[in-house]
Amino acid sequence: MSATRFSESVSGSIRDGVLVVIIANAPVNATSAHVRQGLVKALDHASAVGTVIGVVITGAGRTFVGGADIREFGKPPVEPTLPEVMQRIENCSKPVVASVNGAALGGGCEIALACHGRVAGEAASFGLPEVKLGIVPGAGGTQRLPRLIGTVAAIDLIGSGRTVRPDEAIKLGLVDGVAADHLAAAVGLVHQLAGQSQRRTGLLDVPIAELAAVEAASKKVLSRSRGQSAPAEAVRLVRLASERTFRDGLAEERATFLRLRDSNEAAALRHVFFAERQAGKVDKLEGIAPRRIETVGIVGTGLMGAGIAVAALTAGYRVVGIEQTEDAATKGRERIAGILDKAVQSGRLAATVRDGCLARLAVAANIGELAAADFVIEAVFDDLAVKTELFQRLDGIVRPDAILATNTSYLNPDEIAAATAHPGRVVGLHFFSPANIMRLVEVVDCKATAPDVLASALAFARKLGKLPVVSGVTEGFIGNRIFSAYRREAEFMVEDGAAPEEVDAALEAYGFPMGIFTVYDMAGLEIAWARRKRQAATRDPNARYVEIADKLCEAGRFGRKTGKGWYDYASGEKAVDPEVTALIAAARAAKDISPRRFTVDEIVDRLLRAMADEGAALLTEGIAARSSDIDLVMINGYGFPAHKGGPMFAAETHKDITP
Ligand code: T1G
């Protein structure tokens, strides 16, 4: 049957007396203005044509509807608004059924909720992830979802922004059926509903829920919101659904959505959303195909190597781990198996997947086992001679087209590459520990790295589910270089009068999970101390240098692991240590510094400015390709609060930062 076009992205055709409406708005069928206009025209058409008994709405391609068009936010609204479309669907005199072929997210899920019935295909997923964008659902989601699945489940889904697959959706009552041929099932459901009074979601009563369960669900969402306002607003709106009329609830939801949409928090999270999709895009790699990778070699199966091995195994690769002795190899395999077992115990991994991973894992003491590897990552002690010697040995073992990746944090990978037979096949892959959990990987584009090797490293990182950010070669790459600047500025302020606990409190109030001195104590002070001692001979004598951290190390205060660092941990919790307070006072006196007070705003402004200035230098030097990459590194590797957008975004929008 020929299709009727209702707009550039919405068309329909008749199937068994049902108007099947297809939304085709690449890449994710976002509800752009022409989608909304097309849907209204299709509903008008269905209502006007007597032989049409009802409507099915479905999406073209892999997505049902990926949500409102985020790029339209902040622009003047174009009629019809999404809430108006939902009302037209829900109030349609003929049955409207959603045939959910893929992701139904945000406004996409709200379209499904406004329909009189919902059938999920096997590839369907449902979610209201608006809180991840700093907003709340704005087209009825907070008011319709609890009417279908209850208040507690709705608080969980909308407060967390997580998605559900068909099996959970049907259990929750979110869909009426799951079918491989969801379109045929949806047409069938229209026939079942035709001629009856429609089950309008908005007119359903919210099922009564136990207050204790509602409170517990609310508390769980709020405990994770760490400084963000959207999750709390989402919970408030869902709970309102059982307290106010549908009309009042919709009005309150819309007002809250519009207020949050224009907030700094939402702007920051939208920035992060688009930044993540830009990261890892490298112009010079246009048209460059990555090499085939099936077997991954990992030299060193300590904490870092084992984490990388688990990430590669769960991504489906075959992994050959290498250690120096049989005993170390056995321990390495046990370490990897232990991480996989923990993932199974926590429900994050199916036991069958774990078994498949172990079947694809070999850990040996014979480095010759790497002959078959397509991609080898070294995760050995961070020493230039050790890594260089290893790569020289690998030159004689692996195939010429195999890729060698160094996981160094601070060494210069160009020097490692230069010592090998094929520098073009060397690339940096700086994982963040634990490598099986942390999303961020800095992919280091060395001077000699061949384009297809860089493309292969990026493809490998993506297949691991990582967030790859390309960095040029500089000490500490993007993240650690900015972290060093951040640490220096914090220590300047401590030497000038701020207490470490004041700096940490200011950072935690801003949204960091932990302040820098607490992080320092967790990571261990000795690492930076070793680097400062290494750099002492070449340090600029005229540059300000704070010796307080050195004094702490000289006193054996290396942080939490030694029970003392910037704080004291005798009680098990961090506590201000009078010895440190005295040590800081002595350091100030030695430089005739009269301590002064710092406000919280000044502490935050100075640290944001230090990070942003270092980020600007990285852009000027061509180490970072774009400022949003720098934001992603600091958010995903160093705890910078995502709802502040990252240091570069915050510097641009933070009104009080001193120029
Ligand atoms: N608006 C505009 N562009 C979008 C978009 C959206 N909602 N979603 C994705 N894109 C772009 C993305 O920037 C990228 O562009 C391309 O599509 C492919 O994306 C009223 C107000 C749907 C699961 O939060 O989760 O509805 O880089 O790489 O891996 O209550 O995109 O190619 O130029 O992610 O296949 C709520 C966001 C919006 C879902 C597909 N919806 N999107 O993943 O592709 S607010 C969301 C996603 C809302 C209502 C409220 C994913 C996806 P480019 P991609 P993918």
Q: Are 258 and 303 in the same domain?
A: no
Q: Are 304 and 252 in the same domain?
A: no
Q: Ligand 1: distance of its center to the CA of 129 in Å?
A: 10
Which two three-digit tokens encode residue 40? Answer: 């209204």
Q: Are 467 and 449 in the same domain?
A: yes
Q: Are 449 and 554 in the same domain?
A: no
Select from 25, 28, 71 the residue to mutate for testing ligand 1; criterion: most ligand atoms less than 8 Å from CB.
28
| Residue bearing the CA closest to ligand 1, atom 53 | 277
Q: What is the pLDDT of residue 241?
A: 97
Select from 35, 70, 72, 632 the residue to mutate for testing ligand 1; criterion: most ligand atoms less than 8 Å from CB.
70
The domain boundary, picked from 439, 473, 507, lies at 473
Q: Are 573 and 529 in the same domain?
A: yes
Active-site residue 409, yes or no? Answer: yes
- Alpha carbon distance 151, 92 (integer Å): 26
Q: Ligand 1: distance of its center to the CA of 28 in Å?
A: 6
Q: Are 252 and 297 in the same domain?
A: no
The ligand 1 atom at the shortest distance from the C-alpha of residue 278 is 27
DSSP string over 332-380: HHHHHHHHHHHHHHTTSS-HHHHHHHHHTEEEES-GGGGGG-SEEEE--
Q: What is the CATH number of the domain that holds 374?
A: 3.40.50.720
Share of the chain above pLDDT 90, in %: 91
Q: Are 243 and 142 in the same domain?
A: yes
Pocket of ligand 1 (CB under 6 A): 27-28, 30, 63, 66-71, 82, 103, 105-107, 110, 129-130, 133, 137-139, 141, 274, 277
Residue 659 has pLDDT above 50, yes or no: no
Residue 396, in any domain of the structure: yes
Active-site residue 366, yes or no? Answer: no
Q: Which of 29, 125, 225, 409 is catalytic?
A: 409
Question: For 253-304, how does the pLDDT look when each residue is reduced to its tens digit (9 = 90+)?
Answer: 999 999 999 999 999 999 999 999 999 889 999 999 999 999 999 999 999 9
CB count, 10 Å around CB of 255? 11
Contact 483, 476 (CB under 8 A): yes
The ligand 1 atom at the shortest distance from the C-alpha of residue 137 is 30
Q: What is the pLDDT of residue 631?
A: 98
Residue 267, in any domain of the structure: no
Contact 214, 118 (CB under 8 A): no
Q: What's the average model confidence in pLDDT over 92-106?
A: 97
Q: What is the pLDDT of residue 654?
A: 66
The ligand 1 atom at the shortest distance from the C-alpha of residue 161 is 24
Q: Are 308 and 381 in the same domain?
A: yes
DSSP state of 120: E
Q: What is the pLDDT of residue 74?
A: 79
Residue 653 has pLDDT above 80, yes or no: no
Q: What is the pLDDT of residue 75?
A: 85
The domain boundary, picked from 457, 473, 489, lies at 473
| Residue bearing the CA closest to ligand 1, atom 22 | 66
Q: Are 421 and 510 in the same domain?
A: no
Residue 191 has pLDDT above 90, yes or no: yes
| Residue bearing the CA closest to ligand 1, atom 28 | 277
Nearest-10 crossing angle of helices 477-496, 600-620 = 150
- Which residues are within 8 A (CB) of 363 and not within 5 positions of it... i.e. 6 or more apart? 301, 320, 321, 322, 323, 329, 330, 332, 333, 336
Residue 655 has pLDDT above 60, yes or no: no
Q: Ligand 1: distance of its center to the CA of 462 in Å?
A: 18
Q: What is the chain's mean pLDDT, rounded?
A: 95
Q: Ligand 1: distance of its center to the CA of 157 in Å?
A: 18
H/E element holding 33? helix 33-48
Instruction: Say which residue the tokens 């050195």 belong to.
Output: 550
Q: Are 219 and 350 in the same domain?
A: no
Question: For 3-53, how does the pLDDT look when each residue is reduced to its tens digit (9 = 90+)?
Answer: 899 999 999 999 999 999 999 999 999 999 999 999 999 999 999 999 999
Q: What's the average model confidence in pLDDT over 95-118?
A: 98
Question: For 334-367, how does the pLDDT look when each residue is reduced to its tens digit (9 = 90+)?
Answer: 999 999 999 999 999 999 999 999 999 999 999 9
Residue 280, in any domain of the structure: no
The ligand 1 atom at the shortest distance from the C-alpha of residue 257 is 21
Residue 657 has pLDDT above 50, yes or no: no
- Radius of gyration from C-alpha coordinates of the chain: 28
Residue 377, in any domain of the structure: yes
Q: Which of 436, 471, 480, 628 is catalytic?
A: 480
Q: What is the CATH number of the domain that holds 630?
A: 1.10.1040.50
Residue 99, in any domain of the structure: yes
Instruction: Say which residue the tokens 């774009």 belong to.
Output: 626
Q: Ligand 1: distance of its center to the CA of 470 in Å?
A: 23
Nearest to 633 by CA among 198, 250, 276: 276
Domain count, the chain: 3
Contact 129, 151 (CB under 8 A): no
Q: Ligand 1: distance of its center to the CA of 109 in Å?
A: 13
Active-site residue 480, yes or no? Answer: yes
Q: Are 550 and 460 in the same domain?
A: no
Residue 281, in any domain of the structure: no
Active-site residue 442, yes or no? Answer: yes
Q: What is the CATH number of the domain that holds 87?
A: 3.90.226.10
The ligand 1 atom at the shortest distance from the C-alpha of residue 110 is 30
Residue 656 has pLDDT above 80, yes or no: no
The domain boundary, picked from 473, 501, 529, lies at 473
The ligand 1 atom at the shortest distance from the C-alpha of residue 108 is 26
Q: What is the pLDDT of residue 57?
A: 98
Q: What is the pLDDT of residue 196?
A: 87
Q: Which of 265, 442, 491, 614 is catalytic?
A: 442
- Alpha carbon distance 59, 23 (integer Å): 5
Q: Are 388 and 335 in the same domain?
A: yes
Q: What is the pLDDT of residue 1?
A: 59
Question: For 67-76, how does the pLDDT look when each residue is reduced to its tens digit (9 = 90+)?
Answer: 999 998 878 8
Contact 431, 438 (CB under 8 A): yes
Domain that holds residue 400: 293-473
| Residue bearing the CA closest to ligand 1, atom 10 | 28
Q: Ligand 1: distance of its center to the CA of 67 in Å?
A: 7
Q: Ligand 1: distance of its center to the CA of 71 in Å?
A: 10
